[in-house]
Amino acid sequence: MSIAMANEAPGAFQGTLTDKLKEQFDAGLLSGQELRPDFTIAQPVHRYTSIDHAIWRKLYERQAEMLRGRVSDEFLQGLATLGMEKDRVPDFDQLNETLMRATGWQVVAVPGLVPDEVFFEHLANRRFPASWWMRKPEQLDYLQEPDCFHDVFGHVPLLINPVFADYMEAYGKGGLKAAGLGALDMLSRLYWYTVEFGLIRTPQGLRIYGAGIVSSQGESIYSLDSASPNRIGFEVRRIMRTRYRIDTFQKTYFVIDSFEQLFDATRPDFAPLYEALRAQPTLGAGDIAEGDLVLNAGTREGWADTEDI
Ligand code: PHE
Ligand code: FE
């Protein structure tokens, strides 16, 4: 595995946490620290070590450099508006002053991945749960669970954008609804292929906006430059049928034309859609389907032949 993103699969564990995730969650909870009923904690800012700050600085520098000309303008604008710390792990309260004023969003600290319903409830109320802890030096390029760099550097800048901010809130509400309809598998694919691994088409060319790519050095290059993956025009129904990878770079990236397109396409009631799609077979992560707007048909070079999720 050579990827450098924090993977998370909302919907992969329904309601309760699996043993492994529970273990990771507990590891992120400091002894004596109060876990609130909504699974948040006060960000333990005094617990960051000089190593934590150095890792933040290193990753920040590396990605800021890497992303020039690769990431969407909206992301860069968000980063600038937030005035996000470069040299040390940001204080969430400080970020929230700007964020709250801009779009009413806030970042809240959590020990690790929280149960689906808790996650959706936060998003529905414009709170983004972020892991407080930083990855270890030996995890610079890859770790499986989302750490503070992925959550804060990757996800928070776009929350400054009014349209994307509305999309995330709508997603949270949609998640609560999908949970009740037993449709989290389909809705999670939408999150995966947009919020985590989305690309956007601009007059200057393709750009990254997905947080899983933004926080990964390797995938920042691969997603845009490699001939291996498919790049296909964004389509809600198509995405909801498409399985994905949590252990390798994506085999397919879906490309939006604007955040308005993303918001508008996800506005309709999904209940009938879930119903209809349930009857259809899912697609593999690397499949190309009839009706796809294919921007790049991947060469499939280097694709793992293990199961997609
Ligand atoms: N419109 C969706 C529904 O009715 C909710 C949603 C909005 C889901 C945005 C995802 C993103 O379920
Ligand atoms: Fe994420």
Please choose, from the candidates 65, 96, 69, the residue with its C-alpha nearest in 3D space to the C-alpha of residue 83: 96
Identity (one letter) of the amino acid at 216? S
- pLDDT confidence of residue 17: 63
User: Rounded CA gap, 1 and 90, in Å?
Assistant: 29
CA of 3 to the centre of ligand 1 (A): 30
Indicate whether 179 pLDDT > 80. yes
CA of 286 to the centre of ligand 1 (A): 25
Region 201-217: mean pLDDT is: 97
Tell the residue nearest (CA) to atom 10 of ligand 1. 171
The residue ranking higher by pLDDT, 11 or 125, is: 125
Query: Number of helices and strands (H, E) in the chain?
Result: 13, 7
The answer to the question of whether 53 is labelled as a binding residue is no
Tell the residue nearest (CA) to atom 5 of ligand 1. 174
In angstroms, the Cα distances linking 93 to 25, 96, 105, 114 are 22, 5, 12, 20
Sign of CA dihedral 177, 181, 185, 187: negative
* Residue 174 CA, closest ligand 1 atom number: 5
- pLDDT confidence of residue 143: 87
Confidence of residue 292 (pLDDT cuts 50, 70, 90): very high
Phi, psi of 42 (to 5 degrees): -75, 135
Q: Which ligand is nearest to the CA of 151?
A: 2
CA of 134 to the centre of ligand 2 (A): 14
The answer to the question of whether 150 is labelled as a binding residue is yes
Taking the chain, what is the end-to-end CA distance rounded to the nearest angstrom? 16
- pLDDT confidence of residue 3: 28
Least confident of 5-14, 43-52, 268-277: 5-14
- pLDDT confidence of residue 25: 87
CA of 173 to the centre of ligand 1 (A): 7
By the 8 A CB rule, do 285 and 251 touch? yes
Least confident of 32-41, 73-82, 129-138, 171-180: 32-41
* Residue 175 CA, closest ligand 1 atom number: 8
The answer to the question of whether 155 is labelled as a binding residue is yes
**Residue 50 in 3-state DSSP?**
helix
Indicate whether 35 pLDDT > 60. yes
The residue ranking higher by pLDDT, 232 or 23, is: 232
**Ligand 1 environment, Cβ below 6 A:** 167, 170-171, 174, 177, 190, 266-270
Report pLDDT digits (tens) over 64-122.
999 999 999 999 999 999 999 999 999 999 999 999 999 999 999 999 999 999 999 99
Indicate whether 268 pLDDT > 90. yes
Report pLDDT digits (tens) over 214-263.
999 999 999 999 999 999 999 999 999 999 998 899 999 999 999 999 99
The whole-model pTM stands at 0.92
DSSP state of 169: H
CA of 44 to the centre of ligand 1 (A): 34
Confidence of residue 23 (pLDDT cuts 50, 70, 90): confident
Indicate whether 5 pLDDT > 50. no
In angstroms, the Cα distances linking 237 to 67, 272, 282 are 30, 11, 11
Query: What is the chain's mean pLDDT, rounded?
Result: 92
User: Rounded CA gap, 108 and 43, in Å?
Assistant: 8
Indicate whether 9 pLDDT > 80. no
User: Rounded CA gap, 76 and 157, in Å?
Assistant: 7
Q: Indicate the CATH number for domain 34-296.
A: 1.10.800.10
Helices 73-82, 50-67: axis angle to 10 degrees equals: 140
- pLDDT confidence of residue 107: 98
Task: Map out the domains of the chain as residue ranges.
Answer: 34-296
